[in-house]
Structures are given as structure tokens and as C-alpha cells.
Structure 1
Amino acid sequence: MKTTPILLLFLFAVLSSKAQTGTVAGTILDGNDQPIAFVNIRIENTSLGIASDAKGRYVLDNVPTGEQIIIASSIGFSTLEKPVTVVPEQTTTLDFTLEENVNQLQSVEIIGRKETGYKNTSSFIGTKSATLLRDVPQAISYVTKELALDQAAFRVNDVVKNISGVNQFSFYNDITIRGFRVSGQRTSGNLVNGMRAFTSFWKQQLIPHIERVEVIKGPASALFGNASPGGTINRVTKKPLDEERQSITATVGSFNTFRTLGDFTGRMTEDGKLLYRINLGYENSGNFRDLQFDKNLVVAPSFSFLPSDKTRLNVDIVYQGSEGRLDRGQAVFGDGDLFSVPITKALNAANDFLKEESINATLSLRHEFSDRLSFNSIYMRSSYREDLQEHRTANTFASLGDGTLDPQKVEMRVFIRQRKWNNDNFNNYFNYNFDIGEVSNQLLVGYDYFQQLLEPGGSQLQARGYLLADGSGTANSFDPDNADAFVLDEDGNPVPNVPHFDLTDPTANQIRNFADYTYATNQFPTSRLSSHGIYIQNQANWGDFKLLLGLRQEYYIDDLNFKTDEEEKIEQDVLLPRVGLVYSLNDNINLYGTYVEGYQPQTASVIADPNAGGPFDALTSELIEFGAKTDWFNGRLSASMALYYLTQQGELYNANDPTRPDLLIQIGEEESKGVEFDLAGKIAPNWSLVASYSFNEATITESDDPSEIGRQKPNAPRHTGNIWSKYVIDRGAFKGVGFGLGANFVTERFGSIVRTPEPPLFPGYELFDAALYYQLDKFQIQLNINNIFDKTHWVGGYDFIRAFPGAPRNVMTTVSYTF
């Protein structure tokens, strides 16, 4: 009985404490009255906090009663504080409308993107500082991770069909932008987080760790130095978020496809000053092509340290390991009938292989000295290792004793090659905001340095050509006028060093004995290329006008035979301007115009290769572009249009000389002109849409061969288009069921076009895709059907010995769980 008063007192205290709290709830909107997801809501001077949900709603329980200050903050928006009076055991409504803040956007590449749809609002790629895409005076297109997931895409080449003016070039790590090829061997056309990273030339880049794939159209030399004239691809890696998100995804399907992905992010400390994210990807898949397979592993951890509101530090590491075979395309009979050989037929031997390994490590720092002055410093170390053993074509059909070619047999050669590259990329720049009268300015001044080193020990064994009768070795090609100098078979045909590939032989892919061949050794001398540049840029805002002025002084050095007695330096420098103007016609429409000059030196491997026929002049280019960028449906849907005229001088093409398959020639001038349309976002909260169209006329305008003038550039279709739409039922008995439907088309394209009287022509195609989704809480299952009507098509090609067929109809099933 003596304990009863104590118990009553305790119960009274508990009930009293509960009575001293209340609830605050509301919705977070942007300036277009659209909900903002994952906004941080916290109570000043307490540890209480929560993030808004996908519809911008939040509920804060157990808030102390009385006067409180509620703070709403999110990357890309101005922080807003509001007072509120909390009533015991009652819910108080408090809504927020946040305004976009470009200055806060500058930290978006250190803290992850929180948008969760097909639309992306801002980017670094156009100005080196976070800028709303509608304010950049140049066409920038993108594909978000959400669209890639909905389409069950796993590689960069899988998603480029969604971008106007971009199409696949081959099976390799290369694409065409506005008619100009961008390949993995040229780091100037492939960026990771705005930095030049060495990537595989042979294998298309994986995207399980990628937040979005961006393409800035036209040369970006004023910012990045040597850059491809058609455009630059930037892959933005996923960065840590300041709230917990975890997901696991698995895909199985046609061609023995198996993939699994993991994405984990959140806080490592309670105060949110240390964040983490780790992305994992594994693939073990076959292919519709004979002998082709892919074993890939991606491990990509990322950490963000935020010691204060003014200082942010990020560390990114991406490891990629790959095993497979190098697929150099489909060979068909010499009459050029693409249907004469099955699209499944590859020319590999069963014991060929390609092993690759790459590591990108990035350290980035941002510090704000004041509200006006900030500093950014980024360092990336990028390495790539190649171990290759392959049977491949000699780019011609088999020679017969009478000097003609056998249209059913392909002349072959063998490569055994090992190489390793290391890249160092260092970029530093200041941002300074200042006003002159009514004109606000954002000044950027910076310096960057890039070095690429081909490590010692790179070499290649090559077997090719025809055996000589005197036993001295081989000749690269057969000379019928001197047939007695060659070993001849009983039919009088020359005996090849590497047996011809018989397109009619079903056993031609058997294991081959590499010891049977006669090899020549090619040493890859250690070489170093480096570039550094000083650049300045100002974005001036005056009323409805935004003027961008940029200038870069670029210095480029090639060190051939690096650190040897035969070392030779090739030095080049160029001054690169950029001018752009944006006019805000109204709240929804921005008009723009731009002029840019581009620059791209030839790679060290081309300059140093005696078989290529160089040295060659650098590529130079100019772009004039006008366009419009708009937002519709209260900002949910963005659309853009661009008209452009682009010229380039100095492109290299294969000379198509059977006796010298590596010989290159340099074209005088090419031009590309056309119009592009892009659309991305949501028509309604549950209806997403992506669409694009491009008309591109890319031709040779100057050449020493008059027959080449006016020809369409290789793998540069005049028309491309794409549409993809996803609709999810959000109420009723079928709530959570979704449908996806898409189509894309590409018109006919030429293959090799120079020194060829009749260039090969690859037909156009139209493909249709569909998907079915079902989402229940945090669980989603989807079924993707690609190429529904099983259309036989070719994504590109060089000639009828190297054609690149697209995949036939295939089905992928993906299961995702978010927790």
C-alpha cells in the first residue's frame, strides 16, 4: 500500500509528459506548386527531424508544446524557417514553399540527386557549376537511373536511343553524336563526373552505379579542353544521400542473362556529417552472338564528409572487372547480302578471351569562403588494364591464286596483346558572385591538368598474311604476279598464316592452337600525353537575359618514346572561345543561341603508329546553335529544341587498303546540320514520358577525292526518333499495376565511306518495346519485352566483314525491393 502513491505519481508524470507534446504535419511544394520529396524537416535546437515523402508530405510526432521553429532544407532549394505554436495532443498544419537556389545547387555532385523521375533539373556539365538546364545556352540531354531501370538497361549504349542525335556505332564502346563518332579510346569524349577517365574501347560502359548519363551536344572544349566535336558523354556516379535508402535488384532473361544490383546509402553518424553510398553490380550473361558472354563486377563505394555548411568533401571509387570475348561483328558473303549469314555468327575461336580491369578514384572538395566566393578542387586517378587474345578479320576476304577473292572465306589475323594505362586528372576553380548595378554575375576562373601514361611493357604479337616459300616468314598480302614466292596448296591458292574463316563451316569456331602461327612482335613504346588549360567564364544575369562568355587557353603535349633516347615532344596550343545568350520569353520558355569552337588532337597511339601514316593535324571544329527550352504541366515536363550547324576539319578514316589495313587518311572538312527535339518528365503524377527526334545531315564537304564530297558520314542516320511512356494505375483494384510502351527508329546509314566506290549501306529499322510492372509497397516486379516483333536489324558497321546486328526479341524479368 505504501507504493501506491509512488505508482500514481509515476503514472501522472508519464501522462503529463505525453500531454506536453503535439504533432506538426504539412506539405512541401516548390515554386510551381509541385511536391518536393526528401526535404529535411527538423525542429530547431532539438534532434527531432524527418524527411518528406514522395508526395512532399511530412508528419512530425512528439513535438514539444509551445513556440517552436521548424526548418525545411533540401539541396537545390533555399532553407526556410517558420515559427509554429504546438498544441498538446493536437496536429498543427504547417506547409512550406521552397524556392530554387542555384548557389546551393553547386553541392549537388557531392550530395546525391534526390529527384526520382525521368526529368533532371540541373547539371554541372554545361558550365562547371550547378546550373538549371534551361539556363545553359547549349543543348544538354540526359537519361536518369529511373528510366534506365524501367527499360531494364545495363549499359550506356542501351540508353542512348532515348537521346536525340545519338545512336549506337558498333558493339564497341562508341556512339555517334550529331554524326561524329565518340569512342572509349578518346578520353575527351567520355567523362566521369566531369573528369576525363580512361574507359574500355571494346566493352560498353556499365551503369549500375550511375545516377544519370548526360550528353552535352557540340564541342565542350572551352571548358574541358580537347573534346569531341559532336558532343561529350558524362556519366554521373551515384552520391550519398542524407537519408536511408536501400535497394536490391535482380534480373534474369533471354540469352542466359543474370544480373544483380545493390544500392545502399544513408548516414554514418547521427549528425549527418558523414554519409555513405555503395553500389554493387554483378553480371554473368550470354549473348545472341556465338561464343559471346559477359562476366562483369562493379564495386562503387562513395563517402561524403560535411564538417560544416561551408565545407564538403567526397570520395568516389569505382572498380570494374570484365571477362568475355571481343566481338568484331558479323561477316557476310562478299556479295554484300546481310542476310546471307546468320546474325549469330561471330568469328572468334573458342579459346579467345578479353580481360579488362579499370579503377576510377576521385577526391573532390568544395569550400565556401563567403556567400560570394567558393573553391572547388577535384582529383581523379583512372587506370585501365587490357589482356587480349583474339582471332579477328584482316578486313578483307581470302585471296585466291588468280588474284581474286573468295567471297565465302574471310582472311584472318591473330592478336595477343597486353597494355596498361594510368590517367591523372586535376581540376581547380573558383566561383565568385558579384553585382554590377542591376547585373548579377557568376565568375568562374580555373586551371586543370590531365596526363595519360601508357605504362612500360605494352606489346602485341600479331600473326597475319600468307606464308612465304623460302620459309623466311610471311607477307601481309598475296601478290599473284609473284605467286612462286608463296606457299601454295594443291589448288594453287596461297596458304594463310592464320587459317581463313569459312562462313559455310558450322565448326569454324573450334579451339585454335596459337602455337601454330608465325608472329611478329609490336612493342608499344611508353608514351605520355598531357594537357593543361587556364579558363575563365562569366554568367551575367540582367532581367530576362543571361549572357555566358568563356575563354580557355589549352596546351597539349605528346611525349613519344617517353624516357628513352628517342623521346620526341609534340606540342600544340589553342585559344578556345565560347559565347552564349539566354532570353526568358516567359516563365515557361527560354530561348538561347551559342557559338563554340572545338579542338581535339589525335591520340598518341595514332601519332606513334608507323602503320597509320601520320603524323596528323589536330581536329578543329565550330558550332552555331539556336534553340528553346521549356517547362510544362507546372514544371513536371521539360522540352527542348535545337537548330545547329557544326563543322570539323581533319577527321581520320581508314584508307581501306588491303595491303595496309591500319593506314589512315585525313579528310579536309565535314559539316553537320539539323534539328533536335527532346522531351522528358511527367504528364501526370503517375504518367511518365520520354520522347526525342533528330534530323541530321552530316556530310563530307572537302576531300582530295571528289567522289567523297557530299557523302553522308558513316553510321550517321538522317533521322532518328524514340518514345517511351510509363503509366501506373494509382487507385482501385489494380492499384500498383503499370504499363510501359516504347518505339525507336533509325534510318539507313553508310559504313566505311572513303576510298570506296560503293560504300556499304545498312538498312534502317523500327523497334518496339513493352513492359509490365506491379508495385506493392516496397516490392516491384517488371517484365520487359524488347524488339517485340523480332526485327532483324543492324545498329551499325564498317563494311560487310564488320557488320553489327542488333539483338532479336528478348525478355527480361526484374525484381526490385527497396527497404
Structure 2
Amino acid sequence: MLLFAAISPLWAQSDNGTIQGKITNEQGEPLPGIAVGLKGTAYGAPADAQGVYQIYNVPAGDYTIVVSGIGYERQTKKVALAAAATVNLDFQLKEYTEQLQTVEVIGRRETDYKNEVSYVASKTATPLKDIPQAVSYVTKEVIADQQAYRIGDIVKNISGVNMFSGYDDFTFRGFRSGSSDSKMINGMRTVGIFGPQPILANIERVEVIKGPASALFANTTPGGTMNYVTKKPLTENRKAISFTTGSFNTLRANADFTGAMNEEGTLLYRLNLAYENSDSYRDLQKNKSLMVAPSISFLPTDKTRINFDLVVTQYDGKLDRGQPIFGATSGTDLNSTPISFAIGEANDYHTNNVQYFTLSLNHQFTDALSFNASYMKFAWDEDLFEHRTSNSFAVDSLGNEIPTLMGMQVINRMRKLVSDNLSTYLVYHAKTGAIDHNLVAGVDYIQQKQPVGGGQSRAYGYRKTDGTIANSYNPANAGDYLFENGMPVPNIPHFDLENPQYNVTYAHEYIFNNRTSYAPTKYYTYGFYIQDQISFDKLKVLLSLRHENYRDVLNYDTPDENTVKQDKLLPRIGVVYALNDKVNLYGTYTESFQPQTTSSLLDPNAGGPFDPLSSNMIEFGSKTELINKRLAANIAFYRIEQNNILVNANDATNPDLLEQRGQEVSKGIELDLMGTITPNLSITANYAYNRAEITKSDNEEEVGNIKENAPEHQGGFWAKYTIDKGKLSGLGIAFGGNFVTERVTFDTYTLGLMLPGYVVFDAALFYKVNKFNISANLNNVFDKTHWAGGYSYTRLFPGAPRNYLLSVGYTF
């Protein structure tokens, strides 16, 4: 408080006044998040959770006050403000149902935990309650209150989603996410970065469309698709900066500036900046990130809207390959090494540069017909030097594993991937009698290239007497190997798990016995689709059909270029029935596909050609809006089946022979609760039951096995209460927790390694005075040791121990 008392005279001027009031709808309900500004000035403020706005420190004079929000008619009023006066001016806004923004080119109206509209779940701006498929989300308000900085920090708020490892790597409804076929930005395909998790400083919300989504996005994983929606410009002027410190030497700085660039409000901008420099609870690890993200919206007429986004991010750190524990011969003790324990060397590094550019256009030809187009170019390049596990333990002269010595390898890699996305479609509103149609027809094109110039060098194995390297040690030919202290000499020194040593080492110290030059590669896929959203009284039906054409180009840009074709027809059928104005029931059937690898398709010994991986889902549930539509409560029941999984045919005469016999099935229930219970109390909560198992396999012993990192139960909650009256006005408190039951690893059915379940609690305090915000978050309050994911004895991924974050922000 002494800080505020000391600096308050800097902005408090006795001759300036205040304009305040309340924004409501026609029913008298408060409208949070509505933009209020003084035309031709930088003065403005959004309405709070109670619909109240306050514009402070306004010089005396005559003004035009402008009130606007997506989904409501804009209002203006003249106001005369005397010196040191306070003017009360209320507004009642009329809602309009015809909304031009079918592509999200300006910011969302809501400013709480609840989101109302999805732009990608049906290619049109559709209320979430009218979408016949489960869509979970996390808004920027939840992200800010939890001081989440990376995507791994917020998946606990999404039912049916959990971490598979420590990378950008998740499990959706029991199925592992793919490298790039489960992640979108503004509905456009990204490059799969199996390393640093995206930071969230420029993210408006994260959506997860549950189940197969190929009818929307081409080849996708069966469990779900994650879509990042970037922050778009707002019509009101708003600027915010924040600084954060905390455990593990964390230092962060964020800035978010937005508003109109001209008096007419036809040119809007937004600029997000982020910087981080921190260590980690994991040995050797560090995070150094820098992001610059400008966005511009151009609204030349009331029929045309254009948005441009550019995001440039650089990540510098090390690639955390996880916590190794003592080998299986010592039992399954996950605590044989501390969770901070990592292997590597002090001068390892991992640099990633990510840039993406998006351009979106919406044009309304008539009241019934509109055209939408979006393009995104995404580029990623990587420079890596690492000492990592060889996924095995050291061996003695007899070939027996030594459970406390980790086998090692060194990798030096450079590569680049570039993708292009183009999505174009027409939307036509029609009416046949009492039936309304919302028709969508379009074409998507996606391509990804790996240009020439990439490559990897790898050093591993054991040294031989002739100066060469053997990939592994064979005790039957012990005389061919070098020995020291009675043990075969590794190419890369073993890592002692009992007495770890971290050094500075260099590539020239090793013999690189595996060098790979990455040949240029390319794949592209294009799809034609048609969709009709039919509305009749309380019934809504969604019918869509997509024909996908996937092409993988082998030996791209060489005389031996060869194109592999995989095609699929993908239906989507959904029904929504409104029991009343609060409860919608829905059911859906949808399919997806994933292409088989080209190596299996072109191998003459594999026995192909093979059909693509195919999936289908049946889902039904309800979506409910409570407490004047401030709270959403959803429940979903589903069954997902994936077929055409390639397995080895176990042919003694042809070990490369494959056959398509595999099947996996996931069944479950999900519950989600998001929104505001009272104007002071916000909540997000979720629960998921899932059983994902192998139902068909060439190996009979696998049938009935649970899939890796797919917990049977998981859930969590987060609640925030803010005091808005009395001496404690502006003080807020939040508390939450999440749990995950035990999970299977890749070593479970052979070596008995399981990841235990856990419960973790978090808490936070907030204080807002005038334009200052102070927040303090305590994560993992009871310092619970837990593992978020993991592969095997050599690579586990522990969650963070107890830690704190302290943030100070100023909005102006």
C-alpha cells in the first residue's frame, strides 16, 4: 500500500474528472467486457463483471462516449464533464443476431472464464451449445489468473486431456497427439515441434475439439484437435504491462497494447510482447524465450474485414529428455533418483525459431452470401547439441545390464520445416419454408516441406580394437572390443546415476558413427467439403461431407521423385435438440483418417498397399447454460474406434511383412463447468473417465492392454472469488486442484513400470487498486511429488514441486 500511496500523485490531478456507469442488456442483465471509450481520445475502459465501467482522470470538456461490443448494437452519447466532476451515464444495449464476423478478425466480447462462440468447430461463428460435438476451452482470463505461461500449465483445465511427456505432447481421450496433425493455430495446420511448448502471451483461448475432426481439418488424430486462437485487436484503446518473478530464478515481462489507429475505427492494432529468462526445477535446464506478435485488423466497409497476424518467437534452452531412474533389475522405485535429476552436459543447447504469418478475409456479398479465406505460413528451424540417454543401460563384459549406469549418445542436429495453409469457403444463408439453412462449401490446401540442408550426426555404441564403433556390445565377440576396468568401452562415457558428473564436452571428442543428411521432403493434401447447418424450431442438424486427397512426395525435387496417394471420404452428422432455452441435447457421428507412413507403403517386402488409419466416433451429451447464461455445464458420452493399425505379420520367411489387423477403442464420460456463479465467483471444473485399450492385435497378449499415459480418471477445478465492497474491495482469492490416476508406460507390460496417480493443489491471491494488479500464485501447495508423464525407466517426466510466482501489472 505504501507503493500505491507514493505513486498515486503521479496520475491523480484535482482538475480532472470521472465518467462512470453501468452497461446492461434489454433484460437489465449486466454486460461484462463491453468497450467504453471517448471518441478521438485514448480514454476508455471495459465494463467489469458487473457491467460497471469507470474512466478516470479525464480533463474537463465535451466528449462523445462510444459503447460497443461484439453481438450488440453500437451506441453513442454526448457528455459534458466539468472540472473535478463525476458523471454517471448508463447504457442499455440491444443484441443483434446477424453477425458479420464469421472469421475471427477482432477480439471476443467476453472477459470471463466462459466462452460462447467457436469459429472453427463448424467453419462458421456458431454458439458452442449448438455444436453437436464436445468442445473444451481455456480462456485468457483463466490463463492470467493461474499465471500460466506454457500450454502444459493449462491442460489440467481441460477434461480428457493430460500430458504424455514434458514436450508439446498430449493424450486426448486416450490417444496420443501426433506431431502436427492434432495442433492448429486459428484453425490452420502447424508444423509439429516435438520440443518446447508454445508460450501463451498472445493467446486469446485454447480450444480442444474432442474426437475425430478430419471433416474439418483433414488428417487428424482420433482423440482430439487442439486449436490456439490468437489475440485480435479490440475497438477500445487498452494497454497493459506486467512483470513476474518467482521460483527457479524466473523473470518474465509481458506487454499487450491494442486499440484504434484512426478516428473512424476502421484500422485496429494489437501488439503482444513477451520475454522470459528462468531456470527450472530440473537440473541443467533453462528457459529463455522472446516473442513479438503484432496484429492488425482493417475494416474498410461494413461488408469487408481483413486481419493480419505475425508471430516471431525464439526459444533458447536445452532439450529435457526426462528423469532416468535405476534399471528394472533394482525394482520399480521411481524415487531412486530425485525428480530434479537430468542427464546431459553443461554446454548442451537447443535453439528453436518459430515464425508464422496469417491473413484472414471476410467479405459479405449480400445479406445471405459471404466469402471467407485464410492463409498461414508457418516456419520452424532447430539447432540441437545434446548428450542424452541411448534408452538403455550400460552392460558388463557378459552383456548384463548395470542398473545404475546409463548408456549415452550424442546428437548434433539442424533442420527446418515450412508449412503453407489455405482455406477458402462460401457461406450461404437460405430458407425453405420453416427450415433455415446455413450452407458452407469450400476447399482447403495444406503442404509441408523440409528444404535441403538439414542433417543429423549421432555418436553412440561401443569402441572396437580396430578403431571402429559397434552399435552395441556382443559378448560372443568380446575380443573385438576395447576394455577398461573389465568393462567394454563406450563411445560416449556412461552416465553414473549414483554419482553424476556434469562437464563441458565437445563434438570432436567422440566418433560419430551415424551421419544423416535429410533429403528434401514434401507432403500436401487438399480437401473439398460441403456442410449444411439445418434449423427447424428446436431441432438443429449438421450434415457435412469431405473428400480428402493426401499426397506424400518421396525423394522430393530429385530425379527419383515418387508420389504416394491416400484418399478418404469423411462424413460428419450431428443433431442438436433444445429442450428449453437452457438445455440442448446432442448426438454426433464423425470419422477421421491418418495416412500410413510412406516407408511401409513403398517397402516391397511389407505386403502393401495399405488403407490409411481410420477412426470413427459416436458421441452424445448435453450442453446447459445456467444463471442467466453465465455458467456452462456440459456432459459428453463417447466411443472412439481406430482401425487399420499396421502390425507385423510374424512371417518367418519375411520379417518385414505387415498386415492391417490392429484396433484400439476408447470409451468415456466427460464433464465440464465454466463461467460465473455470482458476479464475484468464477469457476472452471472438469472430470473425465476414460478406458482406452487395444481390442485387436497380431499379438494376442496385447489384447486388453491399456494404452500408454491414458489415465482412467482425471479432473480438476479452479475457483476465484473477488471482493468488490468495503475496505477489502479489490482483493481476490483463488484455490484449485487437479488429480490423475495411475498410468501405463511403455515398460509396464514387460517390466512392470507404472506412473502413480496424484492430487495437486494450487492457490492464489489478487489485489487490484485503480489500474494496478498484484497477484501471487502458489503452485503444488503441499509439495506433492508426481509424474506428469513418461516413457520408460530411462525417461520419466516429473511435475514441478512447490513453487511461487509474483506478478505486478499496470493497465493504462
Q: Distance in 2 between matches of 1:736 and 1:204?
A: 33
Structure 2 CA distance for aligned equivalents of residues 282 and 664 of structure 1: 49
Alignment of 1:737-748 (within 5 A): 737-748=731-742
Amino acid at match of 1:673: K
* Distance 1:522-1:26 versus aligned 2 partners, 3 A rule: closer
Task: Provide the residue aligned with 1:668 in structure 2.
Answer: 662
Normalising by the residue count of structure 1, what TM-score does the alignment of the two structures yield? 0.89
2:222 aligned partner: 229
For 1:461, give the aligned amino acid. S
Measure how far apart 1:73 and its partner are. Answer: 4.6
Kept in 1: contact 2:574–2:586 (CA 8 A): yes
For 1:169, which of 160, 164, 167 is the aligned residue?
A: 164
Taking the aligned partners of 1:698 and 1:275, their CA distance within structure 2 comes to: 47
Report how far residue 757 of structure 1 moved: 2.6
Offset of residue 515 of structure 1: 1.1
Which residue of structure 2 lines up, in the alignment, with residue 344 of structure 1?
A: 340
| Paired amino acid for 1:178 | R
User: Aligned partners of 2:176 and 2:209: how far apart in 1?
Assistant: 14
Aligned length: 777
Aligned to 2:436: 440
| Aligned position for 1:266 | 259
Comparing 54-63 and 605-614, the one that deviates more:
605-614
> SS of the counterpart of 1:339?
helix
Q: Structure 1: how far apart are the matches of 2:634 and 2:311? A: 33
Offset of residue 649 of structure 1: 2.2
Aligned: 1:314 with 2:310: no
Amino acid at match of 1:671: V
* Contact kept? 2:590, 2:618, Cα under 8 Å: yes
* Shift in Å, 1:565: 2.2
Q: Which moved more, 1:562-571 or 1:244-253?
A: 562-571
Q: Provide the rounded CA distance (Å) in 2 between the counterparts of 1:122 and 1:236.
A: 12
- Residues in 2 aligned to 1:422 and 1:616: alpha-carbon distance in whole angstroms: 28
Task: Write the letter of the residue equivalent to 2:448.
Answer: Q
Tell me, yes or no, if the aligned pair for 2:709 and 2:789 is still in contact at 8 Å: yes
The amino acid that maps onto 2:70 is I
Where does residue 235 of structure 2 map in the other structure?
Answer: 242
Tell me which amino acid in the other structure corresponds to 2:135. I
Cα deviation per residue 1:500-544 (whole Å; 9 max; x = unaligned)? 11101232x212232121112112111001000001111011000
Tell me what 1:383 maps to.
Answer: 379
Asked whether the equivalents of residues 222 and 598 of structure 1 are also in contact (C-alpha less than 8 Å), the reply is: yes
Match of 1:717 in 2: 711
Task: Give the counterpart letter for 1:468 in structure 2.
Answer: K
Q: What is the DSSP-based 3-state SS (H/G/I as helix, E as strand, rest coil) of the residue aligned with 1:306? A: strand
How many Å separate the matches in 2 of 1:160 and 1:385? 26
**Which one-letter code corresponds to 1:405 in the other structure?**
E
Residue 113 (1) aligns with residue 108 (2)? yes
Partner in structure 1 of residue 480 of structure 2: 485
Alignment-derived partner of residue 541 in structure 1: 535
Residue 422 in structure 1 maps to residue 422 in structure 2: no
Q: Which residue of 1 aligns with 2:279?
A: 286
Equivalent of 2:466 in 450, 470, 476: 470
For 2:713, give the aligned amino acid: H
Aligned to 1:131: 126
**Structure 1 residue 53: Cα displacement:** 2.6
Amino acid at match of 1:146: E
Matched residue, 1:449: 445
1:711 positional shift: 1.1
Q: 2-side partners of 1:608 and 1:459: how far apart?
A: 23
> Quick one: structure 1 residues 792 and 51, their matched pair in 2 at CA, closer, same or farther if it must change by over 3 Å?
closer
Taking a change above 3 Å as real, the CA distance of residues 769 and 460 of structure 1, as seen in their structure-2 partners, is: same
Cα distance change, pair 26–741 in 1 and its aligned pair in 2 (3 A)? closer
Match of 2:394 among 386, 398, 403: 398
Once the two structures are TM-superposed, the CA of residue 169 in structure 1 deviates from its matched residue by: 1.0
Task: Give the SS at the match of 2:34.
Answer: coil
Change in CA separation of 1:416 and 1:243 when aligned onto 2, cut-off 3 Å: same
Q: Deviations over 1:618-637 (max 9, x none)?
A: 32100000011011111111
What is the root-mean-square deviation of aligned Cα atoms in Å?
3.2
Question: Matched residue of 1:161: which SS?
Answer: helix
Q: Does the 8 Å CA contact 1:621/1:646 hold for their aligned counterparts?
A: yes
Deviation at 1:28, TM superposition (A): 2.8
**Deviation (angstroms), 1:81:** 7.3
Q: Aligned partners of 1:333 and 1:85: how far apart in 2?
A: 73
> Structure 2 CA distance, aligned partners of 1:779 and 1:811?
20
Whole-Å separation in 1 of the counterparts to 2:508 and 2:603: 26
Q: Conserved in 1, the CA contact under 8 Å of 2:647 and 2:697? A: no
1:213 aligns with 2:206: yes
Aligned partners of 2:660, 2:465: CA distance in 1, in Å?
A: 37
1:761 is aligned to 754
Query: Which string of whole-angstrom CA distances, capped at 9 and with x for unpartnered residues, describes residues 119-157 of structure 1?
Result: 111011210111100000000000011111111100111
Q: Alpha carbons of 1:258 and 1:81: their partners in 2 closer, same or farther (altered >3 Å)?
A: closer
Structure-2-length-normalised TM-score: 0.90
State yes or no: 1:622 paired with 2:620: no
Aligned AA (1:237): T
Moved more, 89-98 or 680-689: 89-98
State the one-letter code of the partner of 2:158: I
Which residue number in structure 2 is paired with residue 813 of structure 1? 806
Q: In structure 1, how many angstroms separate the alpha carbons of the residues matched to 2:24 and 2:413?
A: 58
In structure 2, distance between residues paired with 1:256 and 1:817:
22
1:142 counterpart letter in structure 2: Y
Confirm or deny: 8 A CA contact 1:396 1:411 kept in the other structure: yes
- Shift, 1:652, TM fit: 7.6
Structure 2 match to 1:10 = none
Aligned equivalents of 2:638, 2:75: Cα separation in 1:
45
- For 1:521, the equivalent position in structure 2 comes to 515
Task: Tell me what 2:154 maps to.
Answer: 159
Cα distance, 1:415 vs structure 2: 0.8
Q: For residue 658 of structure 1, what is the aligned residue in structure 2?
A: none
Q: Distance in 2 between matches of 1:40 and 1:777?
A: 17
In the TM superposition, residue 481 of structure 1 has moved relative to its aligned partner by 1.7
User: 2:323 and 2:648 mapped to 1: Cα distance?
Assistant: 19
Offset of 1:580 from its aligned partner?
A: 0.2
**1:470 CA drift (Å):** 2.5
Q: Deviations over 1:160-216 (max 9, x none)?
A: 100100111111111111011114x22x21100000022421111110010001100
Distance 1:736 1:40 in 2: 21
2:532 counterpart SS class: strand
CA contact (8 A) 1:451 1:528 kept: yes
Judge conservation of contact 2:211–2:222 (CA < 8 Å) in 1. Answer: yes
CA distance in 1, matches of 2:768, 2:90: 31
2:689 equivalent to 1:695: yes
User: In the aligned structure 1, how far is the partner of 2:658 from the partner of 2:26?
Assistant: 55
Q: Could you say if the C-alpha distance between residues 39 and 541 of structure 1 is closer, same or farther in structure 2, counting changes exceeding 3 Å?
A: farther
Q: Is the 8 A contact 2:34 2:67 kept in 1?
A: no
Counterpart amino acid of 2:185? V
Q: How far apart, in 2, do the equivalents of 1:368 and 1:742 lie?
A: 45
Check if 1:98 corresponds to 2:91. no
Contact 1:749 1:762 in 2 (8 A): yes
Query: Which residue of 744, 748, 751 corresponds with 1:750?
Result: 744
The one-letter amino acid of 1:785's match is: L
Whole-angstrom distance in 2 between the partners of 1:530 and 1:47: 49
Q: 1:295 to 1:64 in 2, by over 3 A?
A: closer
Asked whether the 8 Å contact 2:44–2:237 carries over to 1, the reply is no
Q: 1:659 matched to which residue of 2? A: none
Corresponding residue number in structure 1 for 2:9: none
TM-superposed deviation, 1:82: 10
1:51–1:805: structure 2 CA closer, same or farther, 3 Å change rule? Answer: closer
Per-residue displacement from partner, 1:467-486 (whole Å, max 9, x unpaired)?
22222x22222112222222
SS of corresponding position for 1:648: strand
1:179 aligns with 2:194: no
CA distance 1:91–1:457, change in 2 (3 Å)? closer
Letter in 2 for 1:412: M
Cα separation, 2, equivalents of 1:83 and 1:371: 29
Equivalent of 1:374 in 370, 373, 378: 370
Q: Which amino acid aligns with 2:634?
A: S
Q: Could you say which residue in structure 1 is the equivalent of 2:293?
A: 300
- Contact kept, 8 Å, 1:24 with 1:93, in 2: the verdict is yes
Partner of 2:184: 191
TM-aligned CA deviation for residue 600 of structure 1: 1.5
- State, as a whole percentage, how many aligned pairs show the same letter: 48
* Unpaired segments ≥5 residues, structure 1: 1-22, 656-662
Distance 1:804 1:456 in 2: 34
